[in-house]
Structure 1
Amino acid sequence: MTQQAGQVVFTRGGVPESVHHVHVAVVDAQGWVVASCGDAGLVTFPRSSSKPVQALPLALAVPELPDDELAIACASHAGTPEHLAVAERLLARSGSSVNDLRCGTHPPFNPEAAADLTRRNEKPTPLHHNCSGKHAGMLLACERNGWRREGYAEHGHPLQVRIRELHAELGGVGVDDVRAGTDGCSVPAFALPLDATARIFARLAAPQGELAPALERIFAAMTAHSFLIAGPGRLDTTLMPLVPGLAAKMGAEAFYGMALRDTPRGPLGVAFKIADGGERARPHVALAVLEALGVPVTEEMRALAPATLQNWAGREVGTVEAHVGLTWA
């Protein structure tokens, strides 16, 4: 049932200036939707929040892979030297080179890394792309499974077919219910109901079945190497160390997934989508949801989502309020 969507309201001078509408689904370890806000059945793209699923064929095929390389395969990294070193190491395992990556090229997300390239008069390469670790992992998964590496990013490639099946299996839906588009990095982007994505994160929080060892390794890699998952000052990297038992992954257009192992209601999976893609509202929603689930929110966590707006002169000019009223099943 669709309920009233949550809101994040940005106010200036006491007048609401911007309103971001929010849809949330919360699923328990048994796969049941236990709480929601807005439309829990909203069909939408998790985008990079799918990366833990996209890394599953790698984790299954290469059980000896170091945790930092598994983490970079789940990452939307910032292109710092630390990120590039791990991605390059993973890429080399399949005998691949930067020229084999099909993710495209963009400057590093990290301003210092981007400025350093400019100072050296160097152009970014596909390795600097935030998805290069994912693509390097896909190439290795192909090599270990005996699949051709050529065309690994295409919809009909065996790797992408398997990843679509894994979305369906973990999300508790049929394969035909997993719709396909193309992501910014050229691999398939899969759309599925919001509660199905929350179910995926619940499986990450409480692994079970034959996929459990691989899911456990992905959870451990993400939480042990939170820096690699995003980078300096970014939400995943900052939030995970502050919340025990949390693996979190952001996706483009203001999607977010959280696997929570330690809540008053046991392990939970959370997925939320900010309808207009307003990513500035994401930390406010994340903290509001965590608080609603009984997770202690510290002052250090609140600093990630300031309740006041300041201008460039440091003056307080407005406020931010998140209204995410979860309805419990």
Structure 2
Amino acid sequence: MKEINPNDRPSSVSAGRPGSAVYPTTPLGEKFENIPTGRDVEWEPLVDFRRMDVSENTIHGAVAWAHGDEIIHSFGGNVLVYGRSMMKPLMMKPFVEVLKDLDWKQKAISCSSHNGDTEHVAAAQSLLTESEWGLMQ
């Protein structure tokens, strides 16, 4: 098996576009010094699954409640994280009014991850004019 040079790792994102950089080799990344990420923070235990009073699985994390710019309460560390998939239900809420005229496939593709299957591409293309299809590359 051919070994891949770490500086020449393949990416599905075109060079120069956001997300095209190779995965950071340090917990802080190369671009943002002294910004903690999830790999170097001591998370707080949020949920502890127990059987017969023996811990089987503990989920760690951080939680914050905010109103505007004011942090009301937080625990679990000051950490840079990206919401990604856990934000999808929250993404749909503001879309209710904006996307009300779309069908369910179009609404789903608007805030979902997908593999570019035929059905996914068709749903995404149905939201764009044909001249915009190149944006999906």
Q: Give the shorter-chain TM-score range.
A: 0.3 to 0.5
Higher helix share: 1
Q: More relative contact order in 1 or in 2 (CA 8 Å, sep 6+)?
A: 1
Rg larger for: 2
- Calculate the TM-score normalised by the size of structure 2: 0.43
